[in-house]
């Protein structure tokens, strides 16, 4: 029997629940007997246990959890792999903290997720931001060019690591990752990759090649985004020959992850690894047939454009004369929920199928036709936020959360050009900060912010956008 067919954690919990255990331990729901939640949730609670004899311990695994993580490493070709039960956020924080010390330089692709910037803050780093190129296909920020990374490494040879995002939220993949890995290797800088949306890349063509096999030292993946894992369930992989030691990352994961890890989350990670490791060529053909039919039928809907990014699991929809937010809302009214929308388009994440879903396909296509038909006559469409400046390298003097205190003031964002942002302003999703503390507010960013607000985008961070205000550094009397 192929060892990848095993699910050690899931099987351990299944056998334990079948033994009808009596609980005089935490958690307090006592195997679901005391909860008032519906039966669908109560049944799962028999697996929501703690570190009892025979159930192993995520922070010192010696039994089924250790075996499951070893199977994970084998499936992804890593030197060592870890289960993350606090999401990819915990993995991003751990690899950053393990690679640098307060005051160190670290080179970062600017369109990173907010968790990366939070890691820079916790580590007390001085980041060097590398702007991505604009991807015209998806109308979104794309990859960082190798030439710009090379220049950043030349300018800041003391940097302790390079952090990239691959793929982007919109499914674009860097064509330069192997070249960048060579640049980092030659400079002695570990290459850390937030591959949150690429846990399925190991399947092979037509899916992109995974970052780990293209030279990355450490890769973090959100198993819950594209594999059948529960929310907050992620993987972290350390490559063979990594410039960053696995033990250092393990040390920080022990600090960042809950001391009471969720066994259902670990079981779902075990199951997600099993799902991808046993994905066959026949399974792939099932998905590709679904994908081909989906793209073909949707492309035939009047007024709807379908864009296929590098990752076949992502589809971008644009409705002529309407914002992406309006299209997403129309789809939601028909019971079809997109992953995200922006002023220009809506993004779908397709299921990584193993069996035919003809009924699902028919339902989605019918709902999409109704949604597009309900939009009515055209209205003002959000303009794609095409940057007017070329990608650049920008060094910061400190981490991106310098506390403004009395040195900051709230002003109308329309009047903020040339001022320095004093807080993060984050469209969510995708969770990529539009403004970071210490960055100048440009006319371009004001235009992008206006487009987002006009389309009804939700924002995180410190802002008062309900009254059109952002926080900026107070000008000196001489200004």
The pLDDT assigned to 405 comes to 59
Please check whether residues 163 and 232 belong to one and the same domain. yes
Q: What is the DSSP letter of 347?
A: E
The pLDDT assigned to 474 comes to 84
**Predicted confidence (pLDDT) per residue in 32-48, tens digit:** 999 999 998 998 999 99
Please check whether residues 138 and 202 belong to one and the same domain. yes
Please check whether residues 140 and 187 belong to one and the same domain. yes
Domain boundary among 255, 278, 301: 278
Q: Is residue 382 part of a domain?
A: no
Domain coverage including residue 176 = 3-278
Phi/psi at 50 (nearest 5 deg)? -130, -170
The answer on pLDDT for 387 being more than 80 is no
∠261-433-450 over CA atoms, to 5°? 140
The answer on pLDDT for 185 being more than 80 is yes
How does residue 476 score in pLDDT terms, banded at 50, 70 and 90?
low
**CATH number of residue 127's parent domain:** 3.40.640.10
Q: What is the DSSP string of 267-332?
A: HHHHHHHHHHHT--HHHHHHHHHHHHHHHHHHHTSTTEEEE--SSTTEEEEEETTS-HHHHHHHHH
The pLDDT assigned to 1 comes to 41
Please check whether residues 157 and 122 belong to one and the same domain. yes
Please check whether residues 125 and 266 belong to one and the same domain. yes
How does residue 380 score in pLDDT terms, banded at 50, 70 and 90?
low
The pLDDT assigned to 401 comes to 74
Q: Is residue 389 part of a domain?
A: no
How does residue 68 score in pLDDT terms, banded at 50, 70 and 90?
very high
The total of structural domains in the chain comes to: 3
The pLDDT assigned to 404 comes to 57
The answer on pLDDT for 382 being more than 60 is no
- Alpha-carbon torsion angle 103, 108, 114, 115, nearest 10: -70
Q: Is residue 390 part of a domain?
A: no
**CATH number of residue 424's parent domain:** 3.90.105.10
Domain boundary among 217, 252, 278: 278
For all residues of the chain together, what is the average pLDDT? 94
User: Which stretch of 194-198, 312-316, 356-360 has the lowest confidence by average pLDDT?
Assistant: 356-360
The answer on pLDDT for 178 being more than 70 is yes
Please check whether residues 295 and 274 belong to one and the same domain. no
Please check whether residues 328 and 215 belong to one and the same domain. no
**Predicted confidence (pLDDT) per residue in 418-446, tens digit:** 999 999 999 998 899 999 998 899 998 99
How does residue 376 score in pLDDT terms, banded at 50, 70 and 90?
confident
How does residue 383 score in pLDDT terms, banded at 50, 70 and 90?
low
Please check whether residues 366 and 271 belong to one and the same domain. no
User: What is the average pLDDT across 51-80?
Assistant: 97
CB-count burial class (<10 Å; 0-12, 13-18, 19+) for 136:
exposed
Please check whether residues 356 and 456 belong to one and the same domain. no
Please check whether residues 51 and 195 belong to one and the same domain. yes
- 355 SS3 class: coil
How does residue 378 score in pLDDT terms, banded at 50, 70 and 90?
low
Query: Is residue 105 within a helix (H) or strand (E), and if so which, with residue range?
Result: strand 105-109
How does residue 478 score in pLDDT terms, banded at 50, 70 and 90?
very low
The Cα–Cα gap between 118 and 193 comes to: 15
How does residue 179 score in pLDDT terms, banded at 50, 70 and 90?
very high
Please check whether residues 362 and 467 belong to one and the same domain. no
User: What is the average pLDDT across 119-145?
Assistant: 95
The predicted model scores a pTM of 0.94
The answer on pLDDT for 386 being more than 70 is no
Phi/psi at 450 (nearest 5 deg)? -60, -45
User: What is the average pLDDT across 402-426?
Assistant: 87
User: Which stretch of 114-118, 296-300, 454-458 has the lowest confidence by average pLDDT?
Assistant: 454-458
Q: Is residue 383 part of a domain?
A: no
Q: Is residue 408 part of a domain?
A: yes
Q: Which two tokens stand for residue 202?
A: 């190991």
Domain boundary among 278, 306, 341: 278
Q: Is residue 188 part of a domain?
A: yes
Q: Is residue 396 part of a domain?
A: no
The answer on pLDDT for 477 being more than 90 is no
Q: Do the beta carbons of residue 167 and residue 311 sit within 8 Å? A: yes
CB-count burial class (<10 Å; 0-12, 13-18, 19+) for 293:
middle
The answer on pLDDT for 82 being more than 90 is yes
Q: Is residue 395 part of a domain?
A: no
**CATH number of residue 346's parent domain:** 3.90.1150.150
∠142-181-186 over CA atoms, to 5°? 140
**Predicted confidence (pLDDT) per residue in 448-463, tens digit:** 999 889 888 899 999 9
Please check whether residues 437 and 354 belong to one and the same domain. no
User: What is the average pLDDT across 404-422?
Assistant: 88
């Amino acid at each position: 029997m192929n060892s990848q067919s095993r699910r050690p954690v899931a099987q351990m919990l299944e056998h334990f629940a079948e033994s009808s255990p009596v609980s005089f331990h935490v958690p307090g729901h006592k195997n679901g007997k005391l909860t008032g939640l519906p039966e669908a949730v109560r049944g799962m609670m028999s697996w929501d246990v703690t570190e009892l004899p025979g159930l192993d311990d995520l922070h010192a695994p010696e039994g089924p959890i250790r075996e499951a993580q070893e199977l994970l490493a084998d499936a992804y070709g890593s030197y060592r792999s870890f289960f993350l039960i606090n999401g990819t956020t915990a993995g991003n924080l751990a690899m950053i903290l393990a690679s640098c010390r307060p005051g160190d330089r670290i080179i970062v692709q600017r369109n990173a997720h907010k968790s990366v910037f939070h890691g820079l803050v916790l580590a007390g780093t001085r980041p060097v931001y590398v702007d991505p190129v604009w991807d015209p296909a998806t109308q979104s920020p794309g990859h960082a060019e190798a030439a710009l990374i090379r220049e950043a490494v030349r300018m800041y040879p003391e940097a302790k690591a390079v952090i990239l995002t691959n793929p982007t939220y919109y499914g674009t993949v860097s064509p330069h990752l192997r070249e960048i890995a060579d640049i980092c290797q030659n400079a002695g800088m570990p290459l850390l990759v937030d591959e949150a949306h690429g846990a399925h890349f190991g399947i092979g063509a037509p899916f992109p090649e995974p970052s780990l096999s293209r030279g990355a030292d450490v890769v973090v993946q959100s198993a819950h985004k594209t594999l059948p894992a529960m929310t907050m369930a992620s993987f972290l992989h350390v490559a063979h020959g990594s410039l960053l030691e696995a033990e250092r990352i393990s040390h920080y994961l022990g600090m960042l992850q809950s001391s009471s890890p969720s066994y259902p989350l670990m079981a779902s990670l075990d199951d997600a690894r099993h799902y991808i490791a046993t994905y066959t060529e026949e399974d792939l053909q099932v998905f590709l047939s679904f994908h081909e039919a989906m793209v073909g039928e949707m492309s035939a809907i009047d007024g709807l454009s379908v864009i296929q990014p590098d990752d076949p699991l992502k589809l971008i929809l644009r409705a002529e004369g309407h914002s992406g937010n309006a299209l997403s809302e129309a789809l939601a009214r028909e019971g079809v929920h997109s992953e995200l929308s922006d002023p220009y388009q809506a993004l779908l994440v397709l299921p990584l199928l193993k069996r035919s879903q003809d009924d699902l396909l028919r339902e989605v296509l019918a709902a999409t036709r109704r949604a597009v038909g309900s939009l009515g006559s055209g209205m003002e469409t959000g303009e794609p936020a095409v940057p007017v400046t070329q990608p650049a390298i920008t060094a910061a003097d400190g981490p991106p959360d310098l506390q403004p205190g009395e040195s900051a003031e709230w002003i109308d964002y329309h009047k903020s050009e040339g001022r320095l942002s004093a807080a993060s302003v984050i469209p969510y999703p995708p969770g990529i900060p539009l403004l970071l503390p210490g960055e100048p507010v440009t006319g371009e960013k004001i235009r992008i912010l206006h487009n987002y607000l006009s389309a009804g985008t939700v924002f995180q961070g410190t802002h008062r956008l309900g009254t059109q205000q952002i926080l900026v550094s107070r000008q000196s009397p001489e200004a």
